[in-house]
Structure formats: C-alpha cells, structure tokens
Amino acid sequence: MLSPVLTVSIFQKKSDPKVFSAGQAIFEEGQPGDNMYGILEGEVDILVNGKVIETIETGEVFGIGVLVGVQNRTYTAIAKVDSKLGFLDEEGFLFAVQETPIFALQVMKSYSERLRRLQHLL
C-alpha cells in the first residue's frame, strides 16, 4: 500500500483538489481518461460491471492505467462519501516520479495489486 502521507503530500503539491459528493461518479468504465487520482480525504468505491469490488481510502491512488498505456478506464470509480481528490496528468505523474522515485514503486505496486484482484474476480 502507498504511504498515505507521501501520497497526500505529492497530490497536494500538484493540483487544486477536486471535490466529489457521496454517490458522485469520478469516472466510468470504458471512458477515456488522462488523469490519475489520489484520495486526500474520503473513500472511493471501485466497481466492475456495476458491482463494488473494492473500497479505497485516504492515501490510496487509482486511475493509473490511462497514464501507462491502457486506452480506457477498466472500472468505475464513485465517491462513497464526500471526498477530496488530487489528480495528476501524465506530465505531473512523470515529474512526481522523477522528484520522488519511491512514489513510482508504490504506484506500480498499487496498480499491480488492483489488477490482480480485478483479474481474479473476472
């Protein structure tokens, strides 16, 4: 799991956070995208085929695939509670990786673990 303190600090440096109300879709399965997100406050449900498969919390990241070659979103993300999210586009992600290499390792670990869970469920 990512260090919540590291994640929050990186995402706070890079962007004005986006606020999502409980139940609001952040993105939907199949949509194109160009940002990854870090949860600064709140919880986000990850859904595949309309079914919640995971709930992630403050300090965790999601939506990484579109920055590493995946064409479209592979799941839907919905704010479970009122949530504040930081976001990084490809340029911001590359800068964060260059500035804090451990961030890259943590993001890859998070991404591979989520992929493994998704594949197991499908």
Please indicate whether residue 100 or residue 1 has the higher confidence score (pLDDT): 100
Judge contact between 65 and 10, C-beta under 8 A. no
Domain interval for residue 98: 4-115
Domain assignment present for residue 121? The answer is no
Domain assignment present for residue 29? The answer is yes
Q: Mean pLDDT over residues 87-103, rounded?
A: 89
Specify the pTM: 0.87
Measured between alpha carbons, how far is 2 from 114 in angstroms, rounded to an integer? Answer: 12
The span from the first CA to the last CA of the chain, in angstroms, equals: 22
What is the pLDDT confidence band of residue 76, given thresholds at 50, 70 and 90? very high
Domain assignment present for residue 32? The answer is yes
Domain assignment present for residue 120? The answer is no
On the 0-12 / 13-18 / 19+ scale of CB atoms within 10 A, 30 is exposed
**Domain count within the chain:** 1
Domain assignment present for residue 24? The answer is yes
Structure tokens at 121: 């469920």
Domain assignment present for residue 39? The answer is yes
CATH, residue 63: 2.60.120.10
Three-state SS at 49: coil
